[in-house]
Chain A
Amino acid sequence: MRLAIAFDRLRWEEKALREEAVSQGLEVSLVDAKELLFDISKKKGDGALPELVLQRCISHYRSLFLTRMLEAHGHRVVNSYGVAEVCGNKLASTIALARAGVPTPRTVVALSPETAERAAEEIGFPVVLKPFTGSWGRLISVATDMSTLRSLVELREELPNPVDHMYYVQEYVRRPPRDIRAIVAGDKIVACVHRYAAEGDWRTNVARGGTSRVFSPEKDLQEIILKAAVAVGGGVLGVDAMESETGGYVVHEVNNTVEFKGAQSAVDWSIAKKIVEYVVDGVKRTS
């Protein structure tokens, strides 16, 4: 079986996935998305890429466009365009989670700076402002009061991208100083870790220096994690959840190009192995 791993910045994860796929006997190529060209007026590609592609681009839009073109040319891509589109846009993922009945923090979207204030009042301070696209906790801010919110909105209004002039306003979930990262492949939770924020930061992202400790999720949490994965379309995913001090578990994000270096440091089995097995099994199931 041939597999291409598409990337635009070769991280530890892509190397681990390649190594694992090779050890499982696959013919693997690492394909730099920045080097590719697609004639999208044709129904098929030139045959240079294998049918099966594991999408691992770090740029959301590059990943989205590449997956769209690969699928148009008949490739099977993990994760699919539909999944990437939902996960890469916080508005779409919150809608998907809420519609599926997955507990998620209360979120109000405002399409103007004026209504951003109303959204915050509606939820009640403190509130969290998040960009619609992006990851690693980047540009996420907490507004403790109206004055802070107005300052944040004023700053956002200066940004050139019109998407930054709309506001995803979320309740601030009171939680222990940790959150939950579950790596899901299909209908299995491959690893589940608590992520602890680095000293001086409230964000738990490993990209921000957070550290991971493995734990076994209880049945309720397992159900929520798997339901969240199904809600966004399924595949290889990173489901992020929090333990709300008032309302049980809430899922706040699902990542479609999950980084697992942090989680791997906390477990003694290979996460890459489980991911590759899922990808290969998917082909076998449908062939």
Chain B
Amino acid sequence: MEARCTDCDASVPIPSDALVGEIVSCKECGAEYEVAELRPGAATLKPAEQVEEDWGE
């Protein structure tokens, strides 16, 4: 399964066991996406949130 990178139009591979909310990244430009929706054989991506000052563990 794969989607297109909206930045560079390269292919973004989606693992077969991906879950909604999971982060995937473009192998070409590194842009990060969040899996927004999964349907059989297809996934919708949205841009992932960028690191904020309060992120952490």
Answer whether residue A216 sits at the interface, using C-beta atoms and an 8 A cutoff.
Answer: no
A136 to B56, CA, bound (A): 6
Contact call A259/B21, Cβ cutoff below 8 A: no
Contact call A135/B52, Cβ cutoff below 8 A: no
Secondary structure call for the A interface: loop
A161 to B52, CA, bound (A): 13
Map CB proximity to B onto A1-26 as digits: 1 under 8 Å, 0 otherwise.
00000011110000100100000000
Answer whether residue B48 sits at the interface, using C-beta atoms and an 8 A cutoff.
Answer: yes
Answer whether residue A59 sits at the interface, using C-beta atoms and an 8 A cutoff.
Answer: yes
- Interface size bracket, B side: 10 to 19
Answer whether residue A109 sits at the interface, using C-beta atoms and an 8 A cutoff.
Answer: no
**Shortest distance from the beta carbon of A189 to any chain B beta carbon, whole Å:** 17
**Shortest distance from the beta carbon of B37 to any chain A beta carbon, whole Å:** 12
**Shortest distance from the beta carbon of A7 to any chain B beta carbon, whole Å:** 6
Answer whether residue A238 sits at the interface, using C-beta atoms and an 8 A cutoff.
Answer: yes
Contact call A32/B21, Cβ cutoff below 8 A: yes
A32 to B56, CA, bound (A): 17
Question: Of the candidates A30, A62, A257, which one forms a contact with B57 in the assembled complex, judged by CB atoms under 8 Å apart?
Answer: A257
Answer whether residue A61 sits at the interface, using C-beta atoms and an 8 A cutoff.
Answer: yes
Chain A hits for B9, CB < 8 A = none
Answer whether residue A258 sits at the interface, using C-beta atoms and an 8 A cutoff.
Answer: yes
Secondary structure call for the B interface: loop
Q: In this complex, which of A7, A59, A255 has the most chain B Cβ atoms within 10 angstroms of its Cβ?
A: A59
Chain A hits for B56, CB < 8 A = 58, 60, 134-136, 138, 255, 257
Chain A hits for B34, CB < 8 A = 9-10
Contact call B55/A58, Cβ cutoff below 8 A: yes
Interface residues contributed by chain A, number (CB under 8 Å) = 29
Answer whether residue A144 sits at the interface, using C-beta atoms and an 8 A cutoff.
Answer: no
Answer whether residue B43 sits at the interface, using C-beta atoms and an 8 A cutoff.
Answer: no
Answer whether residue A133 sits at the interface, using C-beta atoms and an 8 A cutoff.
Answer: yes
A15 to B17, CA, bound (A): 10
Given contact pairs A9-B48, A9-B49, A258 touches B57 in the complex (Cβ within 8 A): yes
Map CB proximity to B onto A234-269 as digits: 1 under 8 Å, 0 otherwise.
000010000000000000000111110000000000
Answer whether residue A186 sits at the interface, using C-beta atoms and an 8 A cutoff.
Answer: no
A138 to B56, CA, bound (A): 9
**Shortest distance from the beta carbon of B28 to any chain A beta carbon, whole Å:** 22
Answer whether residue B7 sits at the interface, using C-beta atoms and an 8 A cutoff.
Answer: no
Contact call A238/B21, Cβ cutoff below 8 A: no
A134 to B53, CA, bound (A): 6
Map CB proximity to B onto A183-220 as digits: 1 under 8 Å, 0 otherwise.
00000000000000000000000000000000000000
A14, closest chain B residue (CB): B21
Chain B hits for A238, CB < 8 A = 57
Closest 3 CB pairs of A and B: A135-B56, A10-B21, A60-B54
Known pairs A9-B48, A15-B19, A30-B21 / 4 extra A-B pairs, C-beta < 8 Å: A7-B21, A10-B21, A10-B23, A32-B21
A/B interface sample: 25 pairs, CB < 8 A: A8-B49, A9-B21, A9-B48, A9-B49, A10-B21, A10-B22, A15-B22, A18-B19, A30-B21, A34-B49, A58-B57, A59-B52, A59-B54, A60-B56, A61-B54, A88-B54, A131-B53, A135-B55, A136-B55, A138-B53, A139-B53, A256-B57, A257-B56, A257-B57, A258-B57
